[in-house]
Amino acid sequence: MTKRVRIWIASDRHRIQARKWVRLISIAKDTIKEVCHTIRMVEQTIDNKHQAISLLDFDELDKAKNVGMKAELQMHKVEELY
């Protein structure tokens, strides 16, 4: 009788531990799926940025930079007047 009780308790503990491991494995699986999705999204974002950079007209960027520099010079002149 004592052996049966011990075996039953041991098997019950084993069952509880097995359930915990199944839950942990399930959580880990979901986490891995989420990480893979995030990595795909980051790769897509990087690809989009590379495409955007290749489409940029660097002459237009230089023009915009020159306009910005001229605006700064004008701002300094106005500040000097006051």
Residues in the chain: 82
Q: What is the pLDDT of residue 46?
A: 87
This prediction's pTM = 0.48
Q: What is the pLDDT of residue 74?
A: 78
Q: What is the pLDDT of residues 37-56, one digit of tens each?
A: 999 999 999 888 877 777 66
5's tokens: 């009780």
Q: What is the pLDDT of residue 82?
A: 59
Q: What is the pLDDT of residue 69?
A: 77
Domain ranges of the chain: 2-81
User: Measured between alpha carbons, how far is 18 from 15 in angstroms, rounded to an integer?
Assistant: 5
pLDDT band at residue 12 under the 50/70/90 scheme: confident
Residue 23 — left, alpha, or beta (φ > 0 → left; ψ -120 to 50 → alpha)? alpha
Q: Where are the alpha helices (DSSP H) in the chain?
A: 2-55, 58-81
